[in-house]
Amino acid sequence: MRHVRMVVWRAVYRGSGWCLVSLTVCVLGLLAGRWTGWWPSPYSVAVDLAGVPVLLTYAVWMQQRVDRDKWNGARRDSPRRLETSLDDLDGLGHEEFEFAVRDLLRRDGLEAERVGGANDDACDVRAVDLDRRIWAVQCKHRRDGIRGDAVDVRVVRELKGTAGDVHKATFALIVTNGKFTSKAVPQARMLGVHVVGRDLLAQWASGRPLWELLEHVPPPLRHPADRRRVAA
C-alpha cells in the first residue's frame, strides 16, 4: 500500500509543474480582465485573492528550476571530482572501499555515513536520500576484482535479515568490485535486495546516479539543489 501511494504521489508531482504553468496562465488572464475592467466588482476580490498566491508559487517554482539546472550543469562540468575508475577501486583496502561507496552516495545527493565494523549488522554504509528513504549498504571489496571470490547467497540473506528490522531501510544494497554467484543474483531479486556488481559499479563510478542503474528505484522527488537553498 505504501508503494502504491508513493507511485501515485510521484505521478501527481511530476505533472504538477505543467499544471502550475497552465494555472498561472489562467490567473494572468483573469488578472488582465480584472485590471481592464472586464470583471464585475463581486468577482474582483476573488480574482485578487487567488492570483497573488498562484503567482508567488509560480515564481518559487521557476527559481527552483533555475537552481536545479545550475546544479545539474555544475555536476556535468566537474567529471574529475565525480568520477573514479575501477582500477582505483580495486587498489583500495576494505575500509577504503566502504568510504568510496559512501562518497559515491554523497555525490548523488544522499546523506551517507560509513558505519561498518564489529557488530555492524551487515551494514557498512547507511544513507538517507532526499525523500528520507533509508539505504542499508553492504560493501564487499575484492583485491583481485573480478577474479576474486564471488559474493554468495549468504551475504544476500544476512543483509535482508537486518535491513528492515534493524536499520529500518527502504532499500537494501550490496556493492562489490567483484562478482556474484549464479544463485546470489536471483535470490537477491526474490528478496528485494539490490546488487551492484563490477559492471554496474563501473557505470556508477563513472558518474551515473545510482537510481538510473537499479530496477524499481525511482529517483527522489526532491533535488540536491532544493536542500542547498533550504540550508542557505
CATH code: domain of residue 119: 3.40.1350.10
| Domain assignment of residue 71, yes or no | yes
- Same domain (yes/no): 91, 186: yes
Q: Are residues 53 and 118 in the same domain?
A: no
What does the buried/exposed string (b/e) look like for 83-121 if buried means 16 or more CB atoms within 10 Å of the residue's CB? ebebeebbebeeeebbbbbbebbebbbbebebbbeeebe
Are 224 and 130 in contact by the 8 Å Cβ rule? The answer is yes
Q: In this structure, are residues 179 and 151 in contact, taking their beta carbons and an 8 Å threshold? A: yes
**Same domain? 67 vs 127:** no
Burial bucket for residue 62 (CB in 10 Å: 0-12, 13-18, 19+): middle
Mean pLDDT value across residues 3-12: 44
Domain count, the chain: 2
Whether 86 and 72 map to the same domain: the answer is no
pLDDT in tens, 100-146: 999 999 998 899 999 988 888 999 999 999 888 999 999 999 999 99
Residue 229 counted as domain residue: no
- Tell me, yes or no, whether 89 and 155 share the same domain: yes
Q: Is residue 18 part of a domain?
A: yes
Together in a domain, 97 and 197: yes
3-state class (DSSP) for residue 54: helix
**SS3 assignment, position 134:** strand
Length of the chain: 232
Q: Which of 76, 99, 128 is the last residue of a domain?
A: 76
* CA of residue 232 relative to chain centroid, distance: 21
In the predicted structure, residue 42 carries a pLDDT above the cut 90: no
Instruction: Give the whole-angstrom CA distance, residue 82 versus residue 108.
Output: 9
For cell 551475504, what's the residue?
155
Where in the sequence is the domain holding 9, given as residue range(s)? 2-76
Q: Name the residue with higher pLDDT: 68 or 149.
A: 149
| Residues forming a β-bridge with 120 | none
* Residue 79 pLDDT: 45
**What pLDDT is stored for residue 33 in this prediction?**
60
The DSSP secondary-structure symbol of 116 reads -
pLDDT score recorded for residue 137: 98
Express each pLDDT in 53-105 by its tens digit. Answer: 655 665 555 665 665 565 555 455 544 445 688 999 999 999 999 999 999 99
Indicate the SS3 state at residue 124.
coil
Same domain, 177 and 102: yes
pLDDT, tens digit, 9 for 90 and up, residues 13-41: 444 555 555 656 666 665 566 556 555 55
Scan for cell 574529475, then name that residue. Answer: 80
DSSP bridge partners of 112: 127
> What is the value of pTM for the model shown?
0.67
Mean pLDDT of the chain: 78
Shared domain check, 141 and 64: no
pLDDT digits (tens, 9 = 90+) for 169-228: 999 999 999 999 999 999 999 999 999 999 999 999 998 999 999 998 888 776 655 554
Question: Is residue 22 domain-shared with residue 120, that is, in the same domain?
Answer: no
Judgement on whether residues 28 and 91 belong to the same structural domain of the protein: no
Strand duo 125-128 + 171-176: pairing: unpaired
Residues whose CB falls within 8 Å of the CB of residue 170, separated by 6 or more in sequence, listed in order: 133, 134, 135
Cβ atoms within 10 Å, residue 9:
11
Q: Nearest Cα to 71, choosing from 18, 22, 27, 107?
A: 107
